[in-house]
Amino acid sequence: MGHLLSKNGYRLKKRTRKLNHRKKKKRNCFLQGPCMLCFIIHSNSSGLDDDNNHLEAGLGGSGYHHNSVTGIGVPGITVGIGAAAASKFAEQYASLASPEDYSNFLLSPRELPGWEGQGRSLLSTVPAKLITPPALFRTAGVSVTVPILVPVPGCTSDYTEMVCKRKCSEVQRCTPCKQPRCAFAAPDGGLENGGVGGGGGDTSSNSETGHCHLPLCPLPSSSSSSSASSSSSSPADGCCGLGLHADLPHSSDSSPCCLHHYENCQAKSSDAAEHLSINHLPSSILLKVLSHLTVKERCLCASLVCKYWRDLCLDFQFWKQIDLSGLQQVNDDLLVKIASRRQNVTEINISDCRGVHDHGVSSLASHCPGLQKYTAYRCKQLGNASLSALATHCPLLVKVHVGNQDKLTDEALKKLGEHCSELKDIHLGQCYSITDEGMVALARGCPKLQRLYLQENKMVTDRSVRAVAEHCPELQFVGFMGCPVTSQGVIHLTALRNLTVLDLRHISELNNETVMEVVRKCHNLSSLNLCLNWSINDRCVEIIAKEGRSLKELYLVSCKITDHALIAIGQYSSTIETVDAGWCKDITDHGATQIAQSSKSLRYLGLMRCDKVNEETVERLVVQYPHIVFSTVMQDCKRTLERAYQMGWSPNTSNTS
């Protein structure tokens, strides 16, 4: 029946006199430790002196021993109670032999009503102010289920109410505000037996026994119980840490501690909201945000916000890869400033910058020895001096794209071959002054070359093709569009085992046998462009479809092919996904329908300006084969309008001139 009696009952009166004069120390009293059953009793009892008189009259020596490890009470000596309380129920309880018998007896449905009635009369003589709630604890190393006691709100009867709540079934939790919950407040206003905010002696005793108290929010109680608790509270035992002051009003919704903490959190949140700023983010996050802006947006917009943002925009990581393409404000002075302040530039793009000359590029090259990628399309004002300076000062160059620079000659290519052995990607399209001499020097000095693109270089012949094939075995991308090469030079490309992309557009003297031999020997070839070659016929396409095991893209624009070529692709190839047969006048509805039906890998079919293909046939194929994109004038116009509508364009809102 819980801690029924005190071990030192005769000392209670003496101890309670000093309760309001000093902090509590460890005491052996009612309901000190967790037992099988414990109780919190609320009543409108009489004064303290009267209660002590009742104790002296009705209570004897110690009759109960508590096991602090298991939480189970063990009977001791017989309890001396008045004649009114010594009933048959007490005798049956005292005669039990084991802790399991005690619990089964006290919790049995048959004995429970009688036990409650006897308990009221039995403990009616005990002063309620001396019966405090048990200490909530968790024993280290032992898993114990301890029933927790709760006061019954609205208890106004004259006798003491005893209520047992097992497994904290009706303990009201605090509001879900991610804050530490408060411990039960003792009737004297402090924390009961080892609470955080109670006396210092209790805390030390708990550390000795190894009990860890779990703080919980105080339970709601009536106004009478609140006033009773406040009347016996001591100023020294107020709210400390997680404890609650006894004279705080109790609420049925949430605890005062949580409400007070919630109000503080709300106040702090409102204060923090007033001072929130994007500048409070870590600089690494702001740098990541600014990295999504272009150089123009960072220089002309973001850097003007504040000094902090200006410093961020000047961070070195933004000036490793510099894209100045299309900016007409860029001149030599700007390149000189960039070179003097940012010596860690690894990539720069000055395409279409008409204000940049050889002096600016040379200054950049001299200050940035780690430059690896250089792009300068359509900078016709640049000549050999700029590219030679880059080759001399930047030996780590791996990419050089200088298409459409009329002033470049073999001198610059010789410098590249002499100093840039790591070069892997070069674009020399429409550099009309380049000859075979420069190309041979480049091929011999750059054995790691993987991408080579020439376009309409009228002075590049089969000699250059042969030199490239012999000295650059790692070539993967080769383009000789519009160059005066022949089948005798192209046949050397069969030695390139890693070749994946081959662009042979507009080669005037290219025969079918050479193309078929290249397809047979280059097993990794995935893209073949034969546009504008009138010599390519149906037989050549059939061999390509049969021998191109890795081929995925085949471009046949304006070639001399018919429906038979398309039918052969659909019948023999299981890898080709893209076929462009635009401007082939002999393609009809039959060829387009057959390739769509027979090919399992086809995803794109170009029929632009195939005048013999009916538009109604294409509409039917679009519906029947939705996984294939059919390219005609009408279909492309429809797709363009659909994308415009998706982006919010409307004919009514467009501005007409």
- DSSP string of 136-148? P-EETT-------
pLDDT tens digits for range 371-413: 999 999 999 999 999 999 999 999 999 999 999 998 999 999 9
Query: Which whole number is the average pLDDT over 312-335?
Result: 87
| Residue 627 falls inside a structural domain | yes
* 3-state SS string for 160-175: CCCCCCHHHCCCCCCC
pLDDT tens digits for range 548-602: 999 999 999 999 999 999 999 999 999 999 999 999 999 999 999 999 999 999 9
Assess contact for 581 and 561: CB atoms under 8 A: yes
* 3-state SS string for 545-562: HHHCCCCCEEECCCCCCC
For residue 313, the enclosing domain spans: 287-319
Q: From start to end of 89-143, where are the E strands?
A: 138-139
Strand 578-580 vs strand 64-66: parallel, antiparallel, or unpaired?
A: unpaired
pLDDT tens digits for range 82-130: 444 445 666 666 676 666 676 666 666 565 555 555 554 444 444 444 4
Helix (H) / strand (E) element for 66: namely: strand 64-66
Structure-token pair, residue 649: 């364009």
Q: 281 in helix, strand or coil?
A: coil
Number of neighbouring beta carbons within 10 Å of residue 458: 13
Mean pLDDT of the chain: 73
Assess contact for 372 and 322: CB atoms under 8 A: no
Residue 35 banded pLDDT, cuts 50, 70, 90: very low
| Residue 46 falls inside a structural domain | no
The residue ranking higher by pLDDT, 369 or 76, is 369
| Residue 475 falls inside a structural domain | no
Q: pLDDT value at position 91?
A: 67
Q: pLDDT value at position 504?
A: 96
Most confident among 254-258, 384-388, 653-657 (mean pLDDT): 384-388
Assess contact for 462 and 437: CB atoms under 8 A: no
CATH number for the domain including 615? 3.80.10.10
Share of the chain above pLDDT 90, in %: 47
| Residue 595 falls inside a structural domain | yes
Torsion angles phi and psi, residue 201, rounded to 5: -65, -35
Q: pLDDT value at position 617?
A: 96
Assess contact for 460 and 486: CB atoms under 8 A: no
| Residue 252 falls inside a structural domain | no
Query: Which whole number is the average pLDDT over 458-468?
Result: 95
| Residue 213 falls inside a structural domain | no
Assess contact for 177 and 258: CB atoms under 8 A: yes
The residue ranking higher by pLDDT, 576 or 295, is 576
| Residue 590 falls inside a structural domain | yes
Tokens 């919790």 correspond to: 107
Q: pLDDT value at position 274?
A: 56
Least confident of 38-42, 298-302, 604-608, 646-650: 38-42
- The pTM assigned to this predicted structure is 0.58
C-alpha 393/C-alpha 382 separation (Å) is 17
Report CA-CA distances (Å) from 577 to 23, 164, 565: 88, 78, 15
C-alpha 353/C-alpha 202 separation (Å) is 81
Strand 527-529 vs strand 501-503: parallel, antiparallel, or unpaired?
A: parallel
pLDDT tens digits for range 200-224: 444 334 444 444 444 444 444 434 4
Domains identified in the chain, total number: 2
Tokens 């961070």 correspond to: 315
Assess contact for 199 and 25: CB atoms under 8 A: yes
Check pLDDT > 90 for residue 76: no
Least confident of 181-185, 251-255, 377-381: 181-185
| Residue 207 falls inside a structural domain | no
Least confident of 161-170, 463-472, 505-514, 641-650: 161-170
Assess contact for 635 and 610: CB atoms under 8 A: no
Closest among 528, 527, 572 to 547, alpha carbons compared: 572
Query: Which whole number is the average pLDDT over 532-536?
Result: 94
Report CA-CA distances (Å) from 236 to 10, 20, 243, 352: 27, 9, 12, 82
Q: pLDDT value at position 534?
A: 92
C-alpha 437/C-alpha 277 separation (Å) is 62
Check pLDDT > 80 for residue 657: no
Q: pLDDT value at position 177?
A: 44
Q: pLDDT value at position 112?
A: 55
Query: Which whole number is the average pLDDT over 526-533?
Result: 96
pLDDT tens digits for range 326-341: 888 899 998 888 888 7
Residue 515 banded pLDDT, cuts 50, 70, 90: very high
Assess contact for 332 and 358: CB atoms under 8 A: no
